[in-house]
Structures are given as C-alpha cells and as structure tokens.
Amino acid sequence: MGFLKALFGGQEESAEEKEQKQQTRNFNILKYDGIKALKMQQPEYAVRCLEEALRLQADDEAETCLAQAYMASGRTEEARDTLTRLAERMPDRTTLWLALAQVEMQLNAYEEAVLACARALEADAACAEAHFLSGKAHAAMAHPIEAVAALTQALQCDRDMEVAYRERAGVLKDMYQFAEAEQDADYLLEHFGENEDNLMLKGNLLQSQGRTEEALTYYNKVKDVNPFHQEAYIALSETYATNRQADRSLEVLEEGIELIADFAAAYKERGRIRLMLNDKEGAMDDLKRALELSPEEGKTLDGNYSNVEQEMNELYKSRNPYGF
C-alpha cells in the first residue's frame, strides 16, 4: 500500500489526520443519534448525545437541537443559556429569538421576553408571533395598554391568528372594556367556530358582566363540545350559585365527578356549595378528598395545614355569594 501511494503520488495519513477523521465520525454519530432521539421524544438521551457531540465539534444545528432537548426535558435555564448564545451569534435568525422569548415566558422573566421579541422584530418587523409573545408578556406584567397594542400589531400581521384575538379579549376584559372584548369573542365564534376555548371566552365575558343566564348557555355548549372540560363544570357551578341555584350547582358537579376521574377542583367546589348550604360535614369530606387528589392545590387553602377546617371556612366564606 505504501508503494502504491508513493507511485501515484498519494500520502500516508498522519496520526493527527486519522484522529481528526475519527473525531468527525464520532461527532456525526452522536449528533444524528441526538436529533433522532429528540424526534422520538427521548429528550434526556438527546441531551447526552448532543452535549457529547458539541464537546467534539462546534455546530449550530446540534446546539439548536440541544436547546430544544433542554426545553423538552424541563431544563429551562440551560435552554435559555444555549438559545442566548445562539441568538447573539446569529442575530438575524428570528426563530432563535422567538424560542428564547418562549423560554423567558416559562421562567416568568417577562421583561426579558419583551426584549427577545424586540430583537426578533429587528430581524423581521412583520413577525406576528413576536408581537403576540410581547403582548402576552406585557399582559403578565399588568401593562394592559402595551399588551393590547402589541396584540393588535400581531393581528395586523396575521388576521388569522386565533390565539391573538383570544388573548386580546382577555386583556380587554380585565380592563372592563367588555364591548371591545365581546367584539373579539364574537369574531372568533363567527370565523373560527364554536370550539371550547372560544365558547369559554364568551361565557366568561358574559359572566363578568352579570349576564348569568347567557353565560350558562355558553358554558353548557362547552360541555356539549367536550364533556371532559373541567373548567366548564366549575364555571357552571359558580354561575348557578350566583343565581341562587345551589341544587343545580351540586347536580353539575356530581355529573363532572362521575364522568371525570380524580376531579379535585370539582370536590373543592362542591365543598364550597355544601358549606353554603350548612352541610359542614359534607364540605369537610369534599375538601379532604380534594386535598388527597391534589395536595398542591390545597396549599392555596392553607400554608401549613395546621388548621384545615378554619382555613376552609375562611376561604369558602370569602367566596360565598349569599353573604353568610
């Protein structure tokens, strides 16, 4: 072999060249195994492969996939760091700034999310998703004017962005701008159909205005569209209670409990209704069952569980529309 290489002008590979080729092969194997694992929803294995690949060789595609794998495996801080490096290295890549903004939203870092959206808009001023995420971040920071402005810009860029209408309606509702909020809700129902999200939005808007009978109609429609929609059962119960129809509240909650396994919120709500009806023993049973099914929710009732009954009474009385 050495004679033939010499004859035809070839050269023996050096040890360094062989090592470099082997390193490149290892990198490619690890990179594509990581990408494949990510597609197969095995994010932890993807992280292991891609981290090892990047130790061997820098690669933008592998690093982008690593950020996705971090997010998929709940390692949000690491996803943020990786996306920040990538976005600063490739500032014209709008998708990287959008991904970073989404991560900042998950971390409740809303000011940073707005900044990431602004960088995305520097690269693409007509990016509806960037305007939308900026609007959501402003809404989370209780900046309603900025939120409405950003969401309106999102809709100017994409008239078919259903979630932006819904988000803007929610912000307008919190501003007590019910007429404008209902315009968005009605537009959604007309152009995007009576899906459960649009029906719930319309019901919530009507309930917020004290139009309880109309709200009940929409909540019942939600239940018809999706019999397993937990919020619909709770909203129906609360609305019936506001109308002094505690018996109907109990009926709808019992229907939900029978249909939906481990429906902690329904037990909690039924306990509230039972306490209103002076069924303290039944209320305690329901509260205990709610705590068994969802201990995390129970922390909103009681910081240390030192006196569950007292905390339950204080909470339920504060929510009692009958005033006793």
CATH of the domain at 282: 1.25.40.10
- Each residue of 177-215: pLDDT tens digit? 999 999 999 999 999 999 999 999 999 999 999 999 999
CB 112 within 8 A of CB 141: no
Question: Is 256 contained in some domain?
Answer: yes
Question: Is 235 contained in some domain?
Answer: yes
How far apart are alpha carbons 142 and 226 in whole angstroms?
32
Neighbours of 88 (CB within 10 A): 11
Question: Is 290 contained in some domain?
Answer: yes
Q: Write down the residue that tokens 């005033």 correspond to.
A: 323
How far apart are alpha carbons 258 and 301 in whole angstroms?
24
Say what the pTM is: 0.80
CB 204 within 8 A of CB 217: no
Question: Is 270 contained in some domain?
Answer: yes
How far apart are alpha carbons 80 and 113 in whole angstroms?
11
Residues 244, 218, 180: CA angle, nearest 5 degrees: 105
Tokens at 262, concatenated: 């481990």
Q: Domain containing 242: what range?
A: 227-324
How far apart are alpha carbons 164 and 228 in whole angstroms?
25
Question: Is 60 contained in some domain?
Answer: no
Question: Is 241 contained in some domain?
Answer: yes
Q: Write down the residue that tokens 């919120």 correspond to.
A: 265
Question: Is 318 contained in some domain?
Answer: yes
pLDDT at 308: 47
- Each residue of 253-271: pLDDT tens digit? 999 999 999 999 999 999 9
How far apart are alpha carbons 320 and 324 in whole angstroms?
7
pLDDT tens digits in sequence order for the chain, 324 residues long? 454 455 445 566 677 777 788 888 988 999 999 999 999 999 999 999 999 999 998 999 999 999 999 999 999 999 999 999 999 999 999 999 999 999 999 999 999 999 999 999 999 999 999 999 999 999 999 999 999 999 999 999 999 999 999 999 999 999 999 999 999 999 999 999 999 999 999 999 999 999 999 999 999 999 999 999 999 999 999 999 999 999 999 999 999 999 999 999 999 999 999 998 999 999 999 999 999 998 865 555 544 333 445 555 565 555 554 444
